Amino acid sequence: MARKKSANLTDAELRLMDVIWEKGEATVSEVADALPRDPGLAYNTVLTTLRILEEKGFLRHTKAKEGRAFVYCAVVDRGQASRTAVRHLVSRFFRNSPELLVLKLLEDEELSRKELRRIRALFAGEEQ
């Protein structure tokens, strides 16, 4: 049975999307060259992953003005992708309760005083 396609990004997909978001658009070679050498990814692996991202609706490609290469650009921006990932996290682990997520973060993370002040300021600006 075929595995269901996830609307969320895997770690490998996110690394490639980071390159596309940073550059605006890129060929397979440009994405491969922008990735850290350790661990490096083969050209074919980058190509396959970009095609998967296109099937998932994160990217689209056009033909380069010169040469035969495809140029990939993001259809989904970083903000949209992060909102989708957070919604998935909240629904999967926190019973669709953003409050439970925030409480877990406040309980488990060592927040700096600066971060705590910022969080308090955000809450203080909200009407109850």
Query: Residues 85-127: pLDDT tens digits?
Result: 999 999 999 999 999 998 888 887 688 889 888 888 888 886 4
Instruction: Check residues 116 and 62 and name the one with the higher pLDDT.
Output: 62
Q: Is 100 left (phi over 0), alpha (psi -120 to 50) or beta?
A: alpha
Task: Check whether residue 88 and residue 47 sit in a common domain.
Answer: no
Do 53 and 25 lie in one domain? The reply is yes
- Residue 4 maps to a domain: no
Residue 6: inside a domain? no
Q: Is 95 helix (H, G, I), strand (E, B) or coil?
A: coil
Question: 109 and 69, same structural domain?
Answer: no
CATH of the domain at 61: 1.10.10.10
Same domain, residue pair 54 and 88: no
- Whether residue 70 sits in one domain with residue 86: no
Residue 3 and residue 12: Cα distance in Å, rounded? 17
What residues make up the domain containing 90?
Answer: 78-124
- Measuring CA to CA, how many Å separate 7 from each of 10, 53, 96, 99? 10, 10, 17, 23
Within-domain flag for 109: yes
102 shares its domain with 82: yes
Residues 57 and 30 in one domain: yes
Q: Has residue 34 been placed in a domain?
A: yes
User: What is the predicted pLDDT for the residue at 93?
Assistant: 95
Q: Which pTM value belongs to this model?
A: 0.81
Q: Tell whether 3 is covered by a domain.
A: no
Number of domains in the chain: 2
